[in-house]
Amino acid sequence: MQAGTAQVASILGSLSAQHLLDVLGVAGVFVILFAETGLLVGFFLPGDSLLFVAGYATVAHNSLHFTLSLPALLVAAPLGAIIGAQLGYELGRRAGPRLFSRSESRLFRPEFVERSDAVLRRFGYAPSIVLARFVPVVRTFLNPMAGAARVPTSTFVTWNVAGGLVWTIGLLLLGHAIGNVGVIRRHIDLLAVLVVLLSVVPLAIEVGRRTRNAQKAR
């Protein structure tokens, strides 16, 4: 039991933002954001905390024992997020109909496309594509869903770029700015977790609202 717990802790540690940045550096930010937003298997990767800690790592004399270049991050992060999401969209647009038509598939189902299309139409393409950037897991699956739901390519490209820039640059600069505050520098790991939790708030609010509406409709 203890060996299993230690193994899980080791795996989680290797996926922490600090460890990934220490090992992979700026190039790793591009690769990780590309995988998280473009490949369905990347939904577990720490996009929000990675960006926040990367921004903090650009502060001189930080507590991470390594320093990253802010200008390099401001190029690599948006590119990884934007190109990855565009790949996810193209995969959904080209292969979505075949994948979702497989009755034996547990992940790719036609109703997922229908639900995503309903969300996209209800909230509008622009808000859905942009806000999805700030919600873990959703930012992974919305892109292929948007492709399968036939969101116009020009529309997706426009708001993919806008959302990718706001998300990546915003969190990088937030980490950089907060990293200069002495008290916060000593608790950067806890703050990174808080950033992730806050990113889930919009999704939690929406789920709660829908649950209440469903209960009232009964």
pLDDT in tens, the chain (218 residues): 444 433 333 443 456 788 889 899 999 999 999 999 998 888 888 888 899 889 999 998 888 888 999 999 999 999 999 999 999 999 999 887 676 666 555 655 565 566 666 677 778 889 889 988 988 888 888 898 899 888 999 999 999 999 999 999 999 999 898 877 766 656 566 666 666 666 556 555 655 665 566 566 66
**Among the listed residues 129, 127, 140, 135, the one whose alpha carbon sits nearest the alpha carbon of residue 199:** 135
The number of beta carbons lying within 10 Å of the beta carbon of residue 155 is 15
Q: With 0.85 as the threshold, say if the pTM is over it.
A: no
**Among the listed residues 178, 159, 165, the one whose alpha carbon sits nearest the alpha carbon of residue 52:** 178
End-to-end CA distance of the chain: 45
Give the pLDDT score at 186. 60
- Token pair 């905390």 is found at 49
Q: Are 74 and 172 in contact (CB under 8 A)?
A: yes
* Sequence spans of domains, the chain: 2-208
Q: Is 188 exposed, middle or buried (0-12, 13-18, 19+ CB in 10 A)?
A: buried
